[in-house]
Amino acid sequence: MATDRKRVSAVNSTSSSLELPMDNYSQSSQADLKPRKPRVYRSKVFIIAVSFSSVLLLIMISAFAVHYTVGFPSSSLPNGGEKDALTMALPPEQRVWVEEGISELRNAVERKDNKRRAKNVILFVGDGMGPNTVTAARIMGFKEEGLMSWEKFPDMGLLKTYCANKQVPDSFSTATALFSGVKVNYETGGVDSSVPLGDCAASLNPDRHVQSILKMAQDDGKLTGFVTNTRVTHATPAALYAHTPDRRWECEQKMPAAATVEGCRDIARQLIEEPTGQKINVIMGGGRQMLVSNVTDSEADPIDTWSCKSNDGRDLIQQWANIKAANNEAAVVVQNSGELDAINAQDTDYVLGIFANGHLKYEHERDTSPSGMPSLKQMTLKALQVLRSKNQGFLLVVEGGMIDQAHHRGTARKALNEVLAFNDAINATLQALGNDLQDTLVIVTADHSHTLTINGHASKGSNIFGVAGNSKTEGTPYTTLTYGTTYQGFQPDANGLRKDPTLEDTNDWEYMQQGAINTDENYHGGSDVTIHAVGAMSYLFHGVHEQSYVAHAITYALRIGRFRDSSIAESLADLLPL
């Protein structure tokens, strides 16, 4: 009932804001309505003037219509032989850029907005993938001239990532903005900014819960899923299904006893025991140590000693399988790459894939055999198969989560390599979608930035992990990539001067770039992040947006949640007009 009332008042406020200028207009025109002398209407001059104006008006309207439909025709851009003729006279140093410019211009002129309502949405989130990270990864993978698969998308914008109480946010608050459309406090998720960090009692108030696009998609009968190479209970995925005042509460062991007594549930339990979590069709990632007590530690699958580790005797993986069996649902649990590949998507409605105790291994150190952990691309393609096979429409969220992990350790090569693995997952997804892009919206963005810097002025084509030059004041070499904050910090030598980075192998996976400020790890950066979109309704991403806009644009594109009542969506379309 409450929702209905809100809808009605939204419609009223829309129409009243429309009426306002019309009232003003009719008032002023009434003031003009003085009785005139009827003779004027019969005068020849008047008739001629009216006829002339009508003809003029007709010409103007036709000209406008022609101009509008024809626009600036792309045929006025040179193509093929014409282009050759035009650019032939140019020296090669100029021709290459003129040709490049014309081909980019052609893409820009031929852009057509796909305004079809989206049936499916795939949202890719590169955790900590700020603009400098993308540029550096692009140079690493495709040289200066190359592009990531998402950098060819027709629409893009910027997102402002600050959260409710910090200039530079964490992943839980930003994921909540992205997925639920509301900016919230640092390190909290699924609860609005009235809930302070760690306040269990405040977080239990259902009025303070914000609803994610995943839940709204479920309410509309769509299939839902998420894939991450971090723990399934980690900040980014948790914002899809949990309402928690502290991201550290992934399992019971990191929760204060008082919070447990007050009735707060850890994130792993929310995933397996709450309705939203239970309805998720595809769950893939790591985090076994949150779901199962007393997991075994090994070199191949180490226990994460930084995070929570369950010790209350739970086996939430078994519990998940039992619930699915009791409901007679086609569900499968998979725990390595081979088992994942063996899933028959057509016959499967639910997948719980838990591939590691903690996060999955970095792409470069992953065991690629069937008993090892799957790649982000492997998980994404299988998730897509399962979600597409039912033809109900779906929402899939894919997190490239290890970019951020590597940046926190200050190891840029690992971070950039994870961006390339993220790119592989996206490239393969686009190829798998083919013509389905007509009614699928694909979005690629990041949750927040990092402090990676690209220093001047290495030669074009240089190794991005190499030395850019020698300091003009100290004479000491410096690398192209450095961080603002990092564990290794300033790295002074015996004389208190900055250490020569070439004393180490700057190409090593473990090499930590130097940084301006010494601290316990590299912190997040506060720059905007880019958002790129292709497919149905991709034109909604255009300009500088609040990060929270993304959830609203997705629900509008899918006509779910607030926009489920199509009359509101349509009246908004008339108003804008879209």
Ligand X SMILES: *[C@@H]1O[C@H](CO)[C@@H](O)[C@H](O)[C@H]1NC(C)=O
Active site residues: 171
234 known ligand binder: yes
Among residues 404 and 528, whose Cβ is nearest to Zn ion? Answer: 404
Decide: 531 and 158 in contact? Cβ < 8 Å.
yes
| DSSP characters over 37-59 | -THHHH-HHHHHHHHHHHHHHHH
Binding mask 327-366 for ligand X (x = CB under 6 A): ----------------------------------------
List binders of ligand X among 147-206 (CB under 6 A).
Answer: 148-149
Q: Which of 404, 424, 447, 528 binds Zn ion (CB under 5 A)?
A: 404
User: How many chain residues bind ligand X (CB under 6 A)?
Assistant: 8
311: contact with ligand X by CB under 6 A: yes
List binders of ligand X among 130-149 (CB under 6 A).
Answer: 148-149
155: contact with Zn ion by CB under 5 A: no
Decide: 208 and 190 in contact? Cβ < 8 Å.
no
* 228 binds, options ligand X, Zn ion, none, Cβ within 5 to 8 A by partner type: none
Distance CA 407, CA 129 (A): 9
Do you find a cis peptide bond into 457, omega within 30 degrees of 0?
Answer: yes
313: contact with ligand X by CB under 6 A: yes
246 known ligand binder: no
399 known ligand binder: yes
93 known ligand binder: no
Among residues 174 and 482, whose Cβ is nearest to Zn ion? Answer: 174
Spell out the alpha helix ranges (H) of 494-565. 549-558
List binders of ligand X among 403-432 (CB under 6 A).
Answer: 423, 427
404 known ligand binder: yes
Decide: 78 and 95 in contact? Cβ < 8 Å.
no
Decide: 188 and 172 in contact? Cβ < 8 Å.
yes
Among residues 149 and 188, whose Cβ is nearest to ligand X? Answer: 149
447 known ligand binder: yes
Decide: 172 and 247 in contact? Cβ < 8 Å.
yes
Among residues 309 and 359, whose Cβ is nearest to ligand X? Answer: 309
* 404 binds, options Zn ion, ligand X, none, Cβ within 5 to 8 A by partner type: Zn ion
Which residue number is nearest to Zn ion in terms of Cβ? Answer: 404
Q: Which of 14, 74, 260, 293 binds ligand X (CB under 6 A)?
A: 293
* 538 binds, options ligand X, Zn ion, none, Cβ within 5 to 8 A by partner type: none
Of 354, 371, 297, nearest to 320 by C-alpha is: 354
Contacts 24+ apart (CB under 8 A), 140-146: 140/416, 140/417, 140/420, 140/464, 140/465, 141/416, 141/419, 141/420, 141/423, 143/461, 144/460, 144/461
Distance CA 201, CA 203 (A): 5
Among residues 54 and 294, whose Cβ is nearest to ligand X? Answer: 294
> Is residue 62 classed as helix, strand or coil in its secondary structure?
helix
Q: Which of 294, 344, 369, 518 binds ligand X (CB under 6 A)?
A: 294
207 known ligand binder: no
Distance CA 219, CA 3 (A): 14
493 known ligand binder: no
- 477-479 vs 440-446, strand pairing mode: unpaired
Among residues 268 and 343, whose Cβ is nearest to ligand X? Answer: 268
- Rounded least distance, CB 123 to ligand X, Å: 19
- 120-126 vs 394-400, strand pairing mode: parallel
Amino acid identity, residue 438? Answer: Q
Distance CA 342, CA 337 (A): 9
- 449-450 vs 524-525, strand pairing mode: antiparallel
- Rounded least distance, CB 419 to ligand X, Å: 11
236 known ligand binder: yes
* 363 binds, options ligand X, Zn ion, none, Cβ within 5 to 8 A by partner type: none
Distance CA 346, CA 378 (A): 17
368: contact with ligand X by CB under 6 A: no
* 311 binds, options Zn ion, ligand X, none, Cβ within 5 to 8 A by partner type: ligand X
Among residues 155 and 404, whose Cβ is nearest to Zn ion? Answer: 404
- 155-160 vs 543-546, strand pairing mode: parallel
399: contact with Zn ion by CB under 5 A: no
- Given the rule CB under 6 A, which residues bind ligand X? 148-149, 293-294, 311, 313, 423, 427
Give the annotated binding-site residues for Zn(2+).
127, 404, 408, 447-448, 524
Known binding site for Mg(2+): residues? 127, 234, 236, 399
